Chain A
Amino acid sequence: MKKRILKKDLAGKMPLLPNIMYMIIFFVIPMALLISYSFFVNKGYGRVEHTLTTENYINFFTNKYYIETFIASFIMAVIISILAILVSYPIAFYIVRYKGFKMKLASSLVMVPMLASSVVTCFGWYIMLGNTGIINSVLIGLHMIDEPVQLLYTRTGVYIVLLSGQLPYMITSIMNGIASIDENVEQAANTLGANPVKIFLTITLPLSIPGISAGMLLVFTGILSAYVVPIVIGGGKVNTLASLIVNQASTTLNWPKAAVMALILMVMSSVAMFLNNKLMESKRFGGGGR
């Protein structure tokens, strides 16, 4: 009896087999390899000795340069996430709340940067940020500065370009968040004596948090693993965790160290995702239930 049920159960799950195989081959096995490599001894040129060691981890956490780069990457991800919220929220709010043709146009324009490859947008910015680029020309033309500001190959330049690249994700997430707020709820607050500013602060903004949080997750993980922009705009002067990993994996050919860094990057992203999920599950935002 039990066996038959088991059989039936298995038969029911057969259609899932190709998907499960795909996940095993392309996700589970590589992950297992990555984790095991992080505990192997480096033999140089991509070769490893299959003895277990925590040397690679100790090495990473005691190296000042790595730690500094790691912290800088983290801070960059946090700052750009916050900047993205500040820039995106008003845009998302107006697109959702003020309907009409202009807003439809605006919401499609927001998506355009997502369609272009990051290499293409990068080189576009490269031209704009240069000493004779449009930004410096305009600033000089307006007599706001006398000398061109160095933007290329600086952290500021990297920040500007990374931020612009992440805005579409943040705007769409916040738009979804705001669109899901029942306008009756705001009107209820209004009838209860809240003026428009109070309504925004006590109702609209708190209820947008799930959207903001989702956007922050996308931007945070996107910035942590940003590679092209820091390389092209930073010109090698702005190192990130991702560029360190590429260096270790393809230049230095120290795969165990690259594996350690990759895992740390992944843990950070996972923690961000976990925190976001926790927030979404809280009863305030409609998760859980009784």
Chain B
Amino acid sequence: MSIDVKAGLKSQTVREALRDAMAEEMRRDPDVFLMGEEVAQYQGAYKVSQGLLDEFGPKRVMDTPITEHGFAGLGVGAAFAGLKPIIEFMTFNFAMQAIDQIINSAAKTRYMSGGQIGCPIVFRGPNGAASRVAAQHSQNYAAWYAHIPGLKVVAPYSAADAKGLLKAAIRDPNPVVFLENEILYGKTFDVPEGDDWIVPLGKSAVVREGSDVTLVAYSIAVGQCLEAADALAADGVSAEVIDLRTLRPLDLEPVIASVQKTNRLLVVEEGWPTCGISAEVSARVTEQAFDYLDAPVLRVANADVPTPYAANLEKLWLISPEKIITAAKAALYRD
């Protein structure tokens, strides 16, 4: 998808785009602050908060002790009181220590209070597989959080989306789980200039048009689908690629429209298949567009085992463009 903006474009990494999103929103609203492990003096474990301490000072860019449950709860309390915290988890693997506060406190209090108490907070950090860090540091929590009413869940692929969606998440009055990806941090994309680039939450996007098969993905899997689509095009197959971008609320309108055109759907997820986002997309499309399907909805996901360390096993465990190509051909009943 080409970005439709009057302003110019600049080339930026996802890491820089996320940093700019936070800096712009912190300039705009004094209630926004960033808190987490190593976000201030160290400039972020993955350097996402580079320069923020210098600009905003230690009151608004706060290093925490290693105490995820505690600082997640503290952030939620601050949000109840009207501040707009950005809580960085060094990775979402460590957010499991804090998941009670995210689900039981952040997500549910508006409902339980009959609408009296809001929780305008963003929980962000890298999610999904990194490289060669094995089972405890490599997993995708998208389905865990997307399961919860009261949360919004975002998982961008491109730098432009990362920036625009993070700005929207910070402005959103609801708790937002913002799932980044370590491997994408260093990837470069075109990003619109200026500080008014917002991408609304809850809108998926067609990122490549095609007519033979629909590939649906989010986060890093979008890039792999685009690679697969290139290879499929060389083989005479026109694949449409849709980036979900927001996982809750899930916008399947472009997916349904695409399936009505291609009649074949492949859902790709860098995460486990069981009860995953891909399972949810598959179920909903089956409910809403069954008559348009000429083949079963197929899924490409990681192997349903803990993440292995050995290079060869990790490769076997992960999704890849090759696996996507194979599955796309299967959906088309081609070899």
Chains A and B belong together in one complex: no
